[in-house]
Structure 1
Amino acid sequence: MKYAMRVGGKDIEMHLEKNSKLLTNDYSETYYTEDGKPVTSTPQDVDHCYYHGTIVNDSESTVSMSTCDGLRGYFRTAAQRYLIEPLSGGDDGDHAVLKYEDQSSKPVVCGVTNTSWNADYPPITSKSRSRASGPSLLQQQKYVELVLVADNREVRTYRQMQSHLTMQLICLQVYKPLNTFIALVGLEVWSDNDKISVTAPAGATLDAFTKWRNSDLANTKRHDNAHLISGIDFEGSTVGLAFIGTLCSDHSAGIVQDHNPRAIAVGATLAHEMGHNLGMNHDDSSACACSGNSCIMAGALSYDIPKSFSSCSSVNYDQFLNNRNPECLLDKPDYRNVESTPVCGNGFLEIGEQCDCGSLEECTNPCCNATSCTLTKDSECAAGACCDNCKVRAIVECRMKHDDCDLAEYCTGKSADCPEDVFTVNGIPCDGGRGYCNNGQCPQHHDQCVKMYGPSAENARTYCYEQNTRGLYYAYCRRPSKDQYIPCQRQDVLCGKLFCNNGNDNPNYGRMVKFLDCKASFYDELTSDFGQVDTGTKCNDGKVCNHKMECQCEPGWLLPGCDTKDESFTGLSRGRLFRHC
């Protein structure tokens, strides 16, 4: 779609396309009846009126527009930012184009301090990872499946659905340079009353919202990240708060005050708080540079709404990706197919295209024809770890071996992409015999203690683990219900609750019990328990913890899960074959 207008004495032409990556295929909306009954629907046409694009001959431009009820939205030229809104209802009336200038007299800030939460909080427990070689994790395409929740005060301000989608559109635009798509999987509207205690202290509200997310939302809607949009006025000048470095965990959440009638300003705050979830700290150094007068992760919002992340934010994000391996970011959502044909020049490789390097002004790839999205003459490829000088490589390492449990991958000569990341068979000794490979990992008690209590933490002595035979709320093997704690058999104590020594005073997740030099974490609610020993952890010579929290392997079965037959088994207990303890 093309749209022309005159702005600042100049004629501009926008090239717009439907935003096919705004909503996922399982997008749903949940409202509540007066008696508190949730009603969930899956509207089929809500995203057909949302567009994004660029301005012709302006490489720094970006456009996010809705045609749902007249033309409204945001666009940016190299020199200025603008809002466009209908002067009257309907599609055919006049529209106003306004320079965007936030004239709020109240300075507003993010409530996060860079020391509020440890970057290791809570521990990521992924069992697979993408290893850096060829494209880094920062360079790879990533996806955040987002749920927005509007509290009752927000509902009573008569915010329309379009406003919340506009907020998400702003996020989608600013994260695009970081190869990160923000996909909305759900909108929950607390139309009857709040489901938590929403109070002016932002920290208390964030804690309550996070608890509700884990106990309620997580059970009804699959998602990676959730943010509460609230109509309350938080204490002081705070308009947002979020946990740092917690995406893909139970603390992947944030809260945002609807502090401005312009959805673009609230969307910028949403992008900021989500940045914290992705491991970004505030830009507190003059060395943190970005295009524009203000960066997204600035601690205080300026009148000039930020449009890009700083160099410091990119470094923070890269560190988070490499240190935490948040696997949920690599899961591609099933986007709604609102496009009948691919759009050449949008930078996304779509069905029917051989390549897409962006617009003619943006494209710097000699292997790709920007006007037709086809390969240039004699080119075999335009991108990929196995593409070099427009040719597909063969028998070249494209992903190096990362550790004892990994295998290197090599280009096949048939594809520009590196083959699927694979790892060694389970049960091979790793890390000098301190563990056994399990699904590409080398799980060990010590490493799990470091994740829970920080780098100075150590695995506890055997006496501590013997408490797991007691079946207490902090010492057990299995918990089938909230108030039922099944004790470990004595031979299985190293497979129950994780016990550690030293490290931080408090665990990164859960609450702590400490006695002598033993400490363990516990949880009031029946939820994901990061304080349990991981499946596959070595618990004795040649033995590992299986999924039942048992330290054993039947004769004739291989480590680590004891569910794979050893064809060479002769009935003798030798090598890595062991009988019950």
Structure 2
Amino acid sequence: GNFSVLAEFLCCNVFLGSVFTSVPAGQYGNPLNKYIHHYEGLSYDTEALHSNHQRAKRAVSHEDKVLQLDFHAHGRHFNLRMKRDTSLFSPDLKVEVSGVEAPYDPSHIYTGEIFGEKGTLTHGSVVDGRFEGFIQTHQGMYYVEPSERYLRDKDVPYHSVIYHEGDIITHYAARNSNPAVPDVSPCLSQSHGHGPVILRKKRAAQIEKNTCQLFIQTDHLFFKYYGTREAVIAQISSHVKAIDSIYQGTDFLGIRNISFMVKRIRINTTSDERDITNPFRFANIGVEKFLELNSEQNHDDYCLAYVFSDRDFDDGVLGLAWVGAPAGSSGGICEKSKLYSDGKKKSLNTGIITVQNYASHVPPKVSHITFAHEVGHNFGSPHDSGTECTPGESKAQEKKEQGNYIMYARATSGDKLNNNKFSICSVRNISQVLEKKRGNCFVESGQPICGNGLVEAGEQCDCGYSDQCKDECCYNANEADGNKCKLKPGKICSPSQGPCCTPTCNFKGSNDTCREESECAEQGMCNGGTAQCPTSEPKANFTACHGETQVCLNGGCSGSICEKYDLEVCTCASIEGTDETELCHVCCQERSKCLLFTCYHYRRLIIGHLSQYDMHLKPPRPCKDWDCPVSSDLTVVCPVSSPTLQ
């Protein structure tokens, strides 16, 4: 079939689940499903939470924007404090529902923490007064979901369920995941993690292109399961937040803070099941074909394009994706649409995931790791292999208990130490692909990043990571969440805040220079009360600058030298037969006259003033209607042939 041709380029890998044995447990003696063997019900006041959500949505003051949710479960109190989170969505996010662009209000998406417990994280949505999402505590992750998602036909006295990641049970089929088509050549040689780790040189403090923009589509079966547009977008948000936390927390051999942002969402509702233009409308589509249908669309505008579904694929497959490579192979991040040998154009920056496995819905934890796993393929990682990168297969109990890493060939429950981490094998492969490809489509995040050397919103200081920070005043970015990018106790300032802070964490005196004199501004001097260098005093307006071709205005070199003599700048004209390079000279005219003949070369007009200068325009000023090449002395020289002259 057509897919066999596509398979020439395919290095995708299936992510397997399996049949599970139910364990009778739970609050009422029944598990939620064969994956979750213990849960508790939640019955807090949904009307009160909905009212608080509406208040936070309209709030102006900082305090009123905080949404509070307090409840008791699993023997502890959960005091959640959350704020609206739009960081996962591009400012120009486009949302389509059944092919029609729809307005989108992300005010129901929240991120926060447990009050008084630094280093915790909560993320989710509030729809109809119910919170759905995850809560990362110091004792592990908890998940909150609507009860009817599991107990659809049961009358229970609670509206939500909460369970711990340790209560997710998994047993696996004893088979390796293989490429979708047999006899597929590998896209890249597999690194098993042998050899030295090469640390890259320290990067200068700058805003890096570190964000992969996503296009997420959901098919009609996914919509049918979750029920509403808001619930579908909440699922997209939770999946992206989960992988964003994993990738941002990974150091890819010096490449850090890799993040994700949703640029476009397309939701296929149940009505699209009958739409002949919907490629995903058929219920019975194999996993390889499903990925191919996604790949046949043009995804050039995105780093990656995924389809989320609720399908029970053969052999327990949870996800499929193309594997990226540093060079010489199609597939993965930033790949553009190309014509392949089967005569079809395809975008191989794609993947798919499903939330169903052997007729049961997988818990969000498993689905989140599936997404991270498939995106890991796109980023260039094959499956983990070798003893160093598959500790879960070790005969040593201590290593075995730590579990396998994200890129292990079979699904993990997510509760082991290594389940949410990339192995050194994956890190090496991914770092090579990021080094080569991220410049092709990644964008600046626009979000504060602790560790980039720039003091941004929410940071007191930023001296970089532990291997970069030479600052005795500031906690580096590898410290705990409550400390990183904060001043150390008793320290007044940090050199990362500005040049007026000493290495001993005190403000410099008022006689210390912090900025050199420029053409249009005086020397900058510290004032003894801040780490930042105060604004320099501007030099007098109309002071000549930029090689005497311009003048200073309000501290910047921006005006024409003509303004110094109460003249207006004009375009030089050349008389036929004369030196056409004169078109690049500065010309001025009297303000009271607009005739062309009043336009004079500056050096001829200002007799007795700087007449010895050959007043060529300086780069990047162009000649009229075309650009002049720049000579070695940085003056501008016009070409001999010219466009029509005035």
TM-score range, shorter chain: 0.5 to 0.7
Kept in 2, the 8 Å contact 1:109–1:301? The answer is no
Q: Distance in 1 between matches of 2:495 and 2:503?
A: 10
Correspondent of 1:96 among 157, 161, 174: 161
Residue 299 of structure 1 deviates from its aligned partner by 1.1
- The aligned amino acid for 2:267 is V
1:280 maps to 381
1:118 partner letter: C
2: CA distance, partners of 1:312 / 1:137: 28
Aligned to 1:368: 486
**1:249 and 2:335 correspond:** yes
Task: Report what 1:558 is aligned to.
Answer: none
Match of 1:187 among 224, 249, 265: 265
Shift of 1:201: 3.6
The structure-2 alpha-carbon separation of the partners of 1:135 and 1:388, relative to structure 1 and needing over 3 Å to count, comes to farther
C-alpha distance in structure 2 between counterparts of 1:241 and 1:383, whole Å: 48
Supply the distance in 1 between the matched residues of 2:188 and 2:498 (Cα, whole angstroms): 33
From 421, 427, 433, the equivalent of 1:314 is 427
Q: Structure 1 residue 288: deviation in Å?
A: 2.5
Q: Which residue of 2 aligns with 1:226?
A: 305
Q: Deviations over 1:505-544 (max 9, x none)?
A: xxxxxxxxxxxxxxxxxxxxxxxxxxxxxxxxxxxxxxxx
1:10 match:
76
Q: Which residue of 2 aligns with 1:146?
A: 214
Partner-residue secondary structure (3-state), 2:386: coil
CA distance in 2, matches of 1:343, 1:312: 26
CA distance in 1, matches of 2:268, 2:223: 7
Q: Which residue of 1 is the match for residue 203 of structure 2?
A: 135
- Going from structure 1 to structure 2, the CA distance change for 1:183 and 1:285 (only over 3 Å counts) comes to same
For 1:248 and 1:388, how far apart are their aligned partners in 2?
42
Partners of 1:376 and 1:137 in 2: how far apart?
22
Q: Which runs of 5+ in 1 are unaligned?
A: 33-37, 121-130, 336-341, 393-412, 417-561, 573-581
Q: Residues 195 and 4 of structure 1: is their aligned pair in 2 closer, same or farther, counting only changes over 3 Å?
A: same
Contact 1:111 1:202 in 2 (8 A): no
- SS of the residue corresponding to residue 461 of structure 2 reads coil
Structure 2 equivalent of residue 565 of structure 1: 629
Would you say 1:332 and 2:401 are equivalent positions? no
Q: Give the conservation status (yes or no) of the 8 Å contact 2:205–2:454.
A: no
Change (3 A) 1:211 1:165: same
Seen in structure 2, the aligned counterparts of structure 1 residues 104 and 207 have a Cα distance that, compared at 3 Å, is: same
Mapped partners of 1:571, 1:332: distance in 2 = 39
CA distance in 2, matches of 1:415, 1:316: 41
Q: Does 1:168 align with 2:270?
A: no
Pick one of 284, 289, 292 that aligns with 1:204: 289
3-state SS in 1 of match to 2:408: coil
Cα displacement (A) at 1:39: 0.5
Deviation, 1:362, is: 3.5
Residue in structure 2 matching 1:40, options 101, 109, 117: 101
Structure with the higher strand share, 1 or 2:
1
Aligned to 1:351: 457
* Change beyond 3 A, Cα 1:57–1:139: farther
Within-5 A mapping of 1:519-534: none
- TM-score, normalised on structure 2? 0.48
CA contact (8 A) 2:366 2:414 kept: no
TM-superposed deviation, 1:300: 0.4
Check the 8 A contact 2:208/2:444 in 1, yes or no: no
Q: Give the whole-Å Cα distance in 2 for the aligned partners of 1:9 and 1:230.
A: 35
**Distance 1:566-1:110 versus aligned 2 partners, 3 A rule:** same
The 8 Å contact of residues 460 and 487 in structure 2, kept in 1 or not, is answered as no
Equivalent residue, structure 2, for 1:487: none
Letter in 2 for 1:247: I
> What is the identity, as a one-letter code, of the residue corresponding to 2:279?
I
Shift of 1:226: 0.6
Between the aligned partners of 2:461 and 2:116, the Cα distance in structure 1 is 21
- SS of 1:351's partner is coil
SS in 2 for 1:381: helix
- The aligned counterpart of 1:552 is none
Pair 237,360 (structure 1): closer, same or farther in 2 beyond 3 Å:
closer
User: How many Å apart are 1:209 and its aligned residue?
Assistant: 1.3
Kept in 2: contact 1:241–1:256 (CA 8 A): yes
C-alpha distance in 2, partners of 1:116/1:286?
24
Cα 1:348/1:202, change in 2 over 3 Å: farther
Task: Tell me what 1:118 maps to.
Answer: 187
What does 1:141-540 align with in structure 2 at a 5 Å threshold?
Answer: 142-159=210-227, 160-161=231-232, 162-178=234-250, 179-191=257-269, 192=272, 193=275, 195-196=278-279, 200-212=285-297, 214=298, 218=300, 222-245=301-324, 246-250=332-336, 251-259=348-356, 260-288=361-389, 293-304=403-414, 306-329=419-442, 331-333=443-445, 350-351=456-457, 353-355=459-461, 361-362=480-481, 368-369=486-487, 376-381=491-496
Deviation at 1:284, TM superposition (A): 1.7
Q: Which structure has the bigger radius of gyration? A: 2
Q: How many residues align?
A: 369
CA distance in 1, matches of 2:294, 2:71: 44
Q: Secondary structure at the match of 1:236?
A: helix
Counterpart residue identity of residue 249, structure 2: P
1:368-413 Cα deviation digits (max 9, x unpaired):
3279xxx9424221699xx989799xxxxxxxxxxxxxxxxxxxx9
Q: Distance in 1 between matches of 2:498 and 2:184?
A: 40
Report which stretch shifted further, 141-150 or 562-571.
562-571
**Among the aligned pairs, what percent are the same residue?**
19
Q: 1:308-341: CA deviations, max 9, x gaps?
A: 3233322222222224454322x12568xxxxxx
SS of aligned partner of 1:228: strand
In 1, Cα distance between the equivalents of 2:628 and 2:162? 67
Q: In the alignment, what sits opposite 1:536? A: none
1:412-467 CA distance string (max 9 Å, x none): x9999xxxxxxxxxxxxxxxxxxxxxxxxxxxxxxxxxxxxxxxxxxxxxxxxxxx
Whole-angstrom CA distance in 2 between matches of 1:110 and 1:184: 29
8 A Cα contact 2:81 2:114, kept in partner: yes
Q: Distance in 1 between matches of 2:481 and 2:446?
A: 28
- Stretch moving more, 79-88 or 146-155: 79-88
Deviation at 1:241, TM superposition (A): 1.1
SS at match of 2:222: helix
TM-score (norm 1): 0.52
Matched position secondary structure for 2:249 = helix
What is the aligned counterpart of 2:135 among 75, 98, 102?
A: 75
**Map of 1:493 onto structure 2:** none
Letter in 1 for 2:481: E
- With over 3 angstroms needed to count, the CA separation of the structure-2 counterparts of 1:207 and 1:168, relative to structure 1, is same
Deviations 1:278-315 (A, max 9, x none): 11222223312799534222210023463332333222
Give SS of 2:315's match: coil
- For 1:80 and 1:136, locate their aligned partners in 2 and report how far apart those are by CA, in whole Å: 36
User: Offset at 1:14?
Assistant: 4.2
Q: CA deviation at 1:56?
A: 4.4
Per the TM alignment, residue 132 of structure 1 is displaced from its structure 2 partner at its CA by 6.2
Cα distance 1:273–1:116, how it changes in 2: closer, same or farther (>3 A)?
A: farther
Q: Which residue of 85, 90, 94 maps to 1:24?
A: 90
Q: Quick check: 293-302 or 179-188, which moved more?
A: 293-302
Partner Cα separation in structure 1 for residue 454 and residue 420 of structure 2: 21
Q: For 1:388 and 1:195, how far apart are their aligned partners in 2?
A: 62
* Partner SS for 1:565: coil
CA contact (8 A) 2:135 2:143 kept: yes
CA distance in 1, matches of 2:504, 2:292: 51
Q: Is the 8 A contact 1:110 1:241 kept in 2?
A: no
